[in-house]
Amino acid sequence: MMSIVIGLIGLAAATSIFWLVRRDQLHVNHALGWIIVAGLFAVLGLAPTVVDYVALKLGIAYPPTLALSLGIVILTVKILLMDIERSRSEVALHRVTQKLAIQEARLDALCKDESVSARADSEPDTNAISAHRQ
């Protein structure tokens, strides 16, 4: 019964991943990792004796420990990678925010220059008038 449940979980996970990629809600590069996870679920569901076999070879007395430990390790690595990616994204966001402020300051300066030159153009040229009068 347990193997059927695990197999179904694998199938559901794989279907969800395909659906998320299809709806552009998950990048293909992230989907690759999850497809592997779904595949592992499927293998565990269809052939649960694989874990028993590997555990026996490694000298682990209680085989489910191997599956659970591997799961925890994979999840920890995944979370760590996510935090690394998040740090990169935060830095990129900070750089963009700074760049936006820099460009806004430049735009402000440009607008100020333009309004000064426009004012200068619209004002009568007093020198020209005085020169004309002479």
Burial class (CB in 10 A: 0-12, 13-18, 19+), 18: middle
Tell me the closest approach of the beta carbon of residue 36 to other proteins, in angstroms.
30
Can residue 101 be called a binding residue for other proteins (CB under 8 A)?
yes
Alpha-carbon separation of residue 107 from 39, 59, 113 (angstroms): 53, 69, 10
Contact with other proteins (CB under 8 A): which of 56, 73, 93, 116?
93
Can residue 84 be called a binding residue for other proteins (CB under 8 A)?
no
Tell me the closest approach of the beta carbon of residue 76 to other proteins, in angstroms.
19
Residue whose structure tokens are 């489910």: 64
Can residue 108 be called a binding residue for other proteins (CB under 8 A)?
yes
Tell me the closest approach of the beta carbon of residue 100 to other proteins, in angstroms.
6
Q: Which residues touch 38 (CB under 8 Å, ≥6 apart)?
A: 10, 11, 13, 14, 17
Token pair for residue 33? Answer: 């990792």
Nearer to other proteins, 78 or 95 (CB): 95
Nearer to other proteins, 75 or 92 (CB): 92
